[in-house]
Amino acid sequence: MQGNKSVIRLKSGGPPLEVNTTQKTTNSKNGVFSVEKFITYSVGKRLLSLNITQTGYAGRVKIVSFDLSEQSGKGGSANLNLRFVKNDRYGILCNTKTKFAGSYDSFKENYLVPPLADTELVCYFCRGTGSGGCFTLEKMRGKQNYVAVERVKATHAFVIDDELNFNVKIKIMNVRDTGLSVEVEGPMKLTMDYTKQCISRIRGKMESEMEANALSLFRNGVCQVPDKVVDQIEGDEGQYESDH
């Protein structure tokens, strides 16, 4: 088992961010293998754990599992589990589960607005400490084959306080020769203002696209109304006014 440790200074006078990483590889006689990476991010009494497991056969990754868990230090916990499976027709299949215990509250939003990426947004916070996080999952489909999901990007913003958070990005790609490919980026220190702008940008893009499509459908519907129906409506309105 391999491991390493790093310390990142967040702000003057505050506790640092400690990152510990260990990795374990297991191979069986029948060709099945698994690679497990366990990463912990700790700030003071708060602990964020990320467990990434890749399972495959004959050198190709077929299944990737993420287990993301945050402990508040006061008995509460937030848990997010994601499972990705390689599929020949649909690219990357995805399943998401969430579980919150103790003083954690959460809300979730889902957007399915082609041709934009399918997007899931999960935000949570602890009533006892005021801490929390925000998780976004974006599934990008292929331009040639829109049915298949080719890439998935997961971003977790771990909120430190009203000013700072750190981001961890996880990218999964469906590579023809090697199966599923996993890349972990970060942690990256960001301001809360920047993170809020990113989330607002995602929401704004989705809402604008939905409004534009709704308006287009309405206009097309009006244009397709036969003239005799319009004349009938106008005649009925004229008759109503003369009667009153």
pLDDT in tens, 77-124: 888 899 999 988 888 999 988 888 877 888 888 888 878 888 888 888
pLDDT score, position 224: 54
Angle at 88 between CA 83 and CA 91, to 5 degrees: 50
Tell me the two tokens of residue 110.
Answer: 């889902």
Query: What is the spatial distance between Cα 25 and Cα 87, in angstroms, rounded to a whole number?
Result: 24
Query: What is the spatial distance between Cα 140 and Cα 134, in angstroms, rounded to a whole number?
Result: 20
The β-bridge relationship of strands 179-191 and 164-175 is antiparallel
Contact by Cβ (8 Å): 123, 110:
no
Contact by Cβ (8 Å): 186, 166:
yes
Put simply, whether the predicted model's pTM sits higher than 0.85 gets the answer: no
Query: What is the spatial distance between Cα 128 and Cα 108, in angstroms, rounded to a whole number?
Result: 20
pLDDT score, position 201: 86
Identify the residue whose tokens are 């005649």: 235
Q: What is the pLDDT along the chain (244 residues), one digit of tens a residue?
A: 566 878 877 777 777 888 999 999 888 878 899 999 999 988 877 888 999 999 998 888 999 999 998 876 666 788 889 999 998 888 899 998 888 887 788 888 888 887 888 888 888 888 777 778 888 899 998 777 677 889 999 988 888 777 777 888 999 999 877 789 999 887 888 888 888 888 888 888 888 888 877 776 666 655 554 555 445 545 554 444 445 5
pLDDT score, position 180: 92
Tell me the two tokens of residue 36.
Answer: 């497990």
Query: What is the spatial distance between Cα 71 and Cα 49, in angstroms, rounded to a whole number?
Result: 8
HSE on the CB side for 220, CA within 13 Å? Answer: 6
Give me the chain's average pLDDT, please. 81
Burial class (CB in 10 A: 0-12, 13-18, 19+), 126: buried
